[in-house]
Structure 1
């Protein structure tokens, strides 16, 4: 199923408000009702994320956060979200921006600053990580339209992904409801399954860039451009195979620990993205950077989006798992 007709003619999104309008349109079309990870249709979920990413990575950032929040609440048996609600999923915890919560009857009182809250100005609810009185991490669902929630214009000076409005939000006695129990956010199987979904978003951006090169080569038989296209096809095919296999693994063992699977998949897709950007940029020259707004936006946004990876830190984590594995893991 493709995106609605209003998304086919790309004109860009001027600001966070415009992205919010587009996110609402996707929701109203029912396109946020994705199969849950591990439901037997995980590849379809990844495919929709890649599709939205190929349209616009900034919109995908908000869309992915929204559908991730919906999936988390479903996994943790939370009450159904309010009809028509739009969600942000905000789990970044730099030392200077960690939330605290205390119980106030059936509700939680949320206090502190949360960093990198994508789409905070346009979503109706935030699903945030915070820390309780016993220093345990707790997920909290917080309505944004209340006096104790202050969306700042601080903490976000990006050029790529600028319109996502990933600003700091201050919670000053705001109320929210617990989602799951302490520690559930990281311990649930869906945490690493969702990490593979992020790689599908990266892949969607790279796939769209590759299409620009393919379209060029279909009318310009330039040997060097064709060589770049061959290289792009090779790496994209590898990443696509890895994502398909990862979706299959998740569906076959939905309760399994998917950390190693996610870190390996993300490393593969990240490497693919870097190679696609290099080959496409070298083959097409300055023209599309300067004259094709969709191409130029993707080229500006994709390096920022991929930095959700922690680069060598993530590779080291994967290496630790591999070092403890038995001999023969790479045999055919």
Structure 2
């Protein structure tokens, strides 16, 4: 006599859950198969008939039929697998993490895996696994600087408000200067990239002079007005303003808003007089030490990464020609940079940073 089949009846919620598990892309193949077996068993079919659908053994169908009857949906999950017991307790993990974050070695500025392993009494492999799991990276360091501008909050709201809610019938331009762009040439020819081998320039280089790139980024369109100047003076900035004034389309009733930083050449008496002439320009200054608020810096980062950093320039003229070529290519099909963080989000993040640094004891 065959063993009688356990009666299996599904509720509406269970049937819906099993359908979701069987069709959800995130489900594992094992769980999806089990989620198909159980509804088939609820139809009153024999194990052999059910096994033919997902192409599994009838014994497998019997196992999951019995597990579901005994423990319902929870019975379809994998049971804990046997294995070697843990050798690192939770207290050891906590000691490794807190020691990395809150202490420093006596003869170094930061912990290494070997140093922390010796101090915590664990293996180097265990320390590396803990760091990967919880995220401390003592070998990395990033720079930061908080603005001391007394009108920081007001300027942040002003500039970010211009990006996210620009006035109607207005042109917003972000003006900035990328100074001291070096024309660098390598001392030996470049070894080109090959399959399995990265491009290899020499580590040493020859300086062939510098230039400065003045740029005005149209926030709405992404187009850029750019000009190179060999000398870093206010006269060059005035000539660039004349070029911007000539190239910006002006219609009656259209205002022009300029986002500027507190660069020395932007605040000379001659520049101030230039802005007093008609038509009126509306100026929006970023806080001190906050050039990241100026969207033109995003364009400077892009041209540096894609055209300048890995370029080889035997003269300043060659560097300036490359910059002009990049500007022409960019303006042929410009794409705007979308500002997504509102003023409250920025100010709350800075508030948390200030609180964390003020409570750190440094």
TM-score under structure 1 length normalisation: 0.20
Q: Which has the higher helix share?
A: 1
